[in-house]
């Protein structure tokens, strides 16, 4: 058993153009004031980190870590979610995902993908320089438009998509292995790796690569109506990172899992600030402690109702209250009468 580290905060939803969210020192100080001990940093956020320098300079990474520590937090992981998305993009989503890439690459899918692969490589190297042994990413998606089989999917279509996805990620996983870094794929709708079955399909094609891990976020599982507690039992050895995010699912006679194209606030399934949804975090934190999860509990704020700053402050307290400081002794040790081999045999009637 292990005591989970935390609380940490994923900064992606907070970085902006106004103070204190436009500057690394200011936002880290704000996070510490909210009660966080760590920050998860998007590697593509140029106002927060110079990824090119971080990938090549140990000195720069030491300075960046020192600046965070001076504000009372540490960098828990780097995130390359948006770059990972661009590793594999179905043409149906080209225009939508062009915004994730630099302007000069938009409309040029091959160049955009090459840039994304380079970004993942650099995030791996930067993670190693920061002393981090894991990073976050999306897998991207080639098969997602064919999720619901109508019209009938041609035989071999999904297999071909996963073959290609694995071929694109295998060199990245190998590089991560050489740097001692796990790539933790967030299991997420919109990605080809969106549940346990699809993650296993990917693992099979990368030969069960030891650096291919999961980023566990129960909110996405609740909205799929997947058993998020059983998922912890099944994939305990593969869960490398955790996002603590709440959600609720309230189906009606008019809509269910698919949401009827409604805005987030009007969907049957929607993300909520921590404590306002239906996820059983007491059970989750208990399972994480027992299975020996050695990472951070990182809050990812997403809510269609509550103000993000309120959600962030409440989230820090919520995680702090749910982290279990694991015991170093059994509760019934006080009744221990002592034992030895002969005493045990006598208790079994095997020796007088």
Q: Is 352 within a domain?
A: no
Residue 81 CA to residue 317 CA, distance in Å, equals 26
Tell me what pLDDT residue 335 has. Answer: 66
Enclosing domain of residue 122: 5-347
Tell me what pLDDT residue 280 has. Answer: 98
Tell me what pLDDT residue 343 has. Answer: 86
**Is-contact 251 268, C-beta < 8 A?**
yes
Q: Is 85 within a domain?
A: yes
Q: Is 234 within a domain?
A: yes
The number of domains in the chain is: 1
Tell me what pLDDT residue 276 has. Answer: 97
CATH number at residue 287: 3.20.20.150
| Residue environment code for 172-181, b if the CB has 16+ CB neighbours within 10 A, otherwise e | bbebbbebeb
For the record, the structure tokens of 172 come out as 């990245």
**Is-contact 12 42, C-beta < 8 A?**
yes
Residue 348 CA to residue 41 CA, distance in Å, equals 58
Question: Looking only at Cα atoms, what is the longest distance across the chain?
Answer: 86
Distance of alpha carbon 227 from the chain centroid = 17
Mean pLDDT per 10-residue section of the chain, whose length is 352 residues: 97 97 98 98 98 98 98 98 98 95 96 98 98 98 95 96 98 98 98 98 98 98 98 98 98 96 97 97 98 97 96 98 90 73 89 82
Tell me what pLDDT residue 339 has. Answer: 75
Q: Is 240 within a domain?
A: yes
Tell me what pLDDT residue 328 has. Answer: 84
3-state secondary structure 261-319: HCCHHHCCEEEECCCCCCCCHHHHHHHHHHHCCCCEEEECCCCCCCCHHHHHHHHHHHH
Question: Is residue 164 packed enough to be buried (19+ CB in 10 Å), middle (13-18) or exposed (0-12)?
Answer: middle
Q: Is 134 within a domain?
A: yes
Tell me what pLDDT residue 334 has. Answer: 66
Tell me what pLDDT residue 199 has. Answer: 98
CA distance from start to end of the chain: 38
């Amino acid at each position: 058993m292990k005591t989970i580290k935390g609380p940490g905060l994923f900064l992606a939803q907070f970085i902006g153009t106004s103070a204190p969210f436009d500057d690394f020192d200011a936002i880290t100080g704000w996070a510490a004031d909210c009660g966080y001990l760590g920050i998860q940093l998007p590697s593509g956020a140029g106002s927060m980190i110079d990824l090119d320098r971080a990938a090549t300079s140990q000195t720069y990474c030491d300075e960046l870590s020192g600046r965070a520590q001076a504000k009372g937090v540490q960098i828990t992981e780097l995130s390359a979610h948006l770059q990972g998305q661009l590793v594999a993009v179905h043409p149906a989503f080209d225009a939508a995902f062009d915004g994730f890439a630099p302007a000069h690459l938009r409309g040029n899918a091959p160049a955009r993908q090459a840039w994304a692969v380079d970004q993942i490589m650099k995030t791996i190297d930067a993670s190693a320089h920061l002393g981090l042994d894991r990073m976050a990413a999306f897998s991207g998606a080639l098969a997602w438009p064919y999720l619901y089989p109508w019209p009938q999917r041609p035989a071999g279509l999904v297999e071909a998509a996963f073959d290609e996805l694995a071929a694109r990620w295998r060199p990245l996983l190998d590089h991560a292995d050489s740097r001692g870094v796990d790539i933790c794929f967030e299991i997420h709708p919109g990605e080809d790796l969106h549940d346990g079955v699809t993650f296993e399909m990917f693992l099979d094609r990368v030969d069960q690569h030891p650096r291919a891990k999961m980023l566990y976020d129960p909110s996405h599982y609740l909205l799929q109506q997947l058993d998020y507690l059983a998922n912890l039992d099944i994939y305990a050895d593969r869960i490398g990172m955790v996002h603590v995010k709440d959600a609720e699912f309230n189906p009606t006679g008019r809509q269910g899992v698919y949401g009827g194209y409604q805005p987030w606030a009007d969907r049957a399934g929607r993300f909520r600030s921590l404590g306002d949804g239906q996820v059983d975090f007491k059970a989750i934190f208990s399972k994480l402690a027992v299975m020996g999860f050695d990472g951070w509990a990182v809050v990812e704020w997403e809510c269609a109702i509550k103000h993000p700053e309120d959600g962030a402050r409440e989230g820090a307290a919520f995680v702090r209250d749910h982290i279990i400081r694991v015991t170093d002794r059994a509760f019934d040790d006080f009744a221990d009468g002592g034992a030895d081999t002969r005493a045990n045999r006598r208790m079994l009637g095997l020796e007088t």
